[in-house]
Amino acid sequence: HVHVARGYTDTSTPLVRQASKCIKCMRCVQICEKVQTMGIWDLAGTGSRTTVDVSGNRTLKTSDCTFCGQCVTHCPTGALTARDDTVKVLDALADPEITTVVQIAPAVRVAWAESFGLTGKKAATGKMVAALRRLGFDYVFDTNFSADLTIMEEGSEFLERFTHRDRYHWPMFTSCCPGWVRFIKSQFPHYVDCLSTAKSPQQMFGAVAKTYFAEKIGVDPHRMFVVSIMPCMAKKSECALPTMRDACGDPDVDAVLTTREMDRLFRSDNIQPGDLPEEAFDSPLGTGTGAAVIFGATGGVMDAALRSAYYLVTGENPDPDAFTAVRGNKPWKEAVFSIPGAGEIRVAVVSGLGNTRKLMKALESGQGRYDFVEVMACPGGCAGGGGQPIHDGEELAGKREDALWKLDQKATIRFSHENPEIQSLYQEFLERPLGKKSHHLLHTDHTTWEVVEKGIWLDSN
């Protein structure tokens, strides 16, 4: 091991620790060990040198950390933070040659206003859109658009596997949570081929922005800078993966900011979002459905996927509330749904990595038998993500999730396959789900990169 000076701050991973702020309260150790079962943090040293550090004499880079960020949202002093990428974004915003595009994840809209003390109408999504335009973004889009796109690809992929059962390893897992993808790769690698090959909504958005949209507005994709606002820290490592540059060779998404970083940018520019008139998302990558907005809640991806899978098999829409068994904030939910013409589909939904580990153990022992499983690394799903505003001693995931389900209830369109802009994207550009173009831009190979850099990681089990 290279011995690193105490004052050194490593920013090569999305999770940054500043030792001088640590008060050794052990909260990070506890949440990582007991709730997320990763055991990344531990006591190191003895006597007056006792401190908290990465366990097993590793560094974060050489550990199997999933970058879920739960330790960050539970650290009382800011010794653990998400890497700050705002400077990269400000540089792009200041460059007149660059077209800046921003996408906002579903779970951000139900949490961003907390740190401004705004509620009700003052916390409307349109005010956040207006504030982002004030920062100087050329286009403000909604990740809900690519959540609908993800459902088209992932729903079609599930049916393809379900109707050719013998060719695949079961169950099929959702792949939109990068913390979970890191988890399965390091903890249960023999199940990696069960992951859906569909990219996450964040990455699909970048790929479409730098091809379809760049072409539409006549901009060179190399001069386009795509920013994501995410409730998540693992998204910062996801956008940097070598497999996520399919549009033009550059990264499909250039930078990821957490909800907290976006709020800091508003403050640094003295923007009062609550006082701005509401503005709409830009078109064509700005339209989402009720099925998309629930991606930020545990069970939402499953619910949305089943709504469209039902349609893809039967040609008819189910009742949009037919799949309520996968909703609610129970950490591990199971249900069986029958789709006419396809048969019984056994599903499970789990959030939090400790619960996920239990589910994976049940699969290994043959106790759990499922066809389709949704996993989110953070307890409560993205609503409780590691990039969301922090309220010491309060867990707000449940409250934020309720707000997302309400948005779905109120949505005029509640099925991903009915999003008119998704339909025209396929007609004009992608042709069809799982087609050649979709495959190149919207799917990925999860096996071509390593969670831990080879040669420096020793098995700690």
Q: What is the CATH number of the domain that holds 304?
A: 3.40.950.10
Partners of 336 in beta bridges:
346
- 435 token code pair: 């087609």
3-state secondary structure of 70: helix
Is 461 inside a domain boundary? no
Is 454 inside a domain boundary? no
CB contact at 8 A, 158 and 372: yes
CA nearest neighbour of 133 among 250, 318, 293, 281: 281
Is 59 in the same domain as 110? Answer: no
Is 135 inside a domain boundary? yes
Is 413 inside a domain boundary? yes
Is 361 in the same domain as 394? Answer: yes
Rounded to whole angstroms, the Cα distance separating 214 from 222 reads 10
Is 293 in the same domain as 346? Answer: yes
Is 455 inside a domain boundary? no
Which residue, of 49, 82, 115, is where some domain finishes? Answer: 82
CB contact at 8 A, 199 and 244: yes
Query: What is the domain extent for residue 323?
Result: 148-198+288-418
Is 246 in the same domain as 372? Answer: no
Is 312 in the same domain as 382? Answer: yes
Q: What is the DSSP letter of 210?
A: I
Rounded to whole angstroms, the Cα distance separating 46 from 432 reads 61
Is 249 inside a domain boundary? yes
Which CATH number characterizes residue 63's domain? 3.30.70.20
Is 127 in the same domain as 236? Answer: yes
CB neighbours of residue 457 within 10 Å:
17
Which residue, of 60, 82, 104, is where some domain finishes? Answer: 82
CB neighbours of residue 140 within 10 Å:
24
The tens-digit pLDDT sequence of the chain (461 residues) is 455 555 568 899 999 999 999 999 999 999 999 999 999 999 999 999 999 999 999 999 999 999 999 999 999 999 999 999 999 999 999 999 999 999 999 999 999 999 999 999 999 999 999 999 999 999 999 999 999 999 999 999 999 999 999 999 999 999 999 999 999 999 999 999 999 999 999 999 999 999 999 999 999 999 999 999 999 999 999 999 999 999 999 999 999 999 999 999 999 999 999 999 999 999 999 999 999 999 999 999 999 999 999 999 999 999 999 999 999 889 999 999 999 999 999 999 999 999 999 999 999 999 999 999 999 999 999 999 999 999 999 999 999 999 999 999 999 999 999 999 999 999 999 999 999 999 999 999 999 999 987 655 444 44
- CA torsion sign, 217 to 207 to 264 to 297? positive
Total domain count, the chain: 3
Rounded to whole angstroms, the Cα distance separating 177 from 147 reads 12
CB contact at 8 A, 350 and 177: no
Helix axes 259-268, 125-135, angle to 10 degrees: 60
> Please, is 448 exposed, middle or buried when counting C-beta atoms within 10 Å of its C-beta (0-12, 13-18, 19+)?
exposed
Is 268 in the same domain as 323? Answer: no
Rounded to whole angstroms, the Cα distance separating 230 from 385 reads 9
Is 26 in the same domain as 132? Answer: no
Q: Read out DSSP for 78-124?
A: SSEEE---HHHHHHHHH-TTSEEEEEE-GGGTTTGGGGGT--GGGG-
Is 302 in the same domain as 173? Answer: yes
Q: Read out DSSP for 398-437?
A: HHHHHHHHHHHHH-S---GGG-HHHHHHIIIII-STTSHH
Alpha carbon separation from 26 to 67, 129, 204 (Å, rounded): 18, 38, 38
Rounded to whole angstroms, the Cα distance separating 429 from 436 reads 11
Which residue, of 34, 64, 82, is where some domain finishes? Answer: 82
Is 348 in the same domain as 405? Answer: yes
Helix axes 259-268, 86-94, angle to 10 degrees: 50
Q: Which residue has the tokens 């105490």?
A: 6
Rounded to whole angstroms, the Cα distance separating 416 from 248 reads 27
| pLDDT for residue 108 | 98
CB neighbours of residue 460 within 10 Å:
11
Is 123 in the same domain as 165? Answer: no
Alpha carbon separation from 57 to 46, 49, 246, 408, 457 (Å, rounded): 14, 15, 36, 46, 11
Rounded to whole angstroms, the Cα distance separating 22 from 38 reads 20
Is 458 inside a domain boundary? no
Is 357 in the same domain as 340? Answer: yes
> Please, is 226 exposed, middle or buried when counting C-beta atoms within 10 Å of its C-beta (0-12, 13-18, 19+)?
buried
Rounded to whole angstroms, the Cα distance separating 391 from 191 reads 36
| pLDDT for residue 455 | 52
CB contact at 8 A, 118 and 274: yes
| pLDDT for residue 5 | 55
Rounded to whole angstroms, the Cα distance separating 353 from 233 reads 15
Is 39 inside a domain boundary? yes
* Cα atoms found within 13 Å of the Cα of residue 130, Cβ hemisphere only: 15
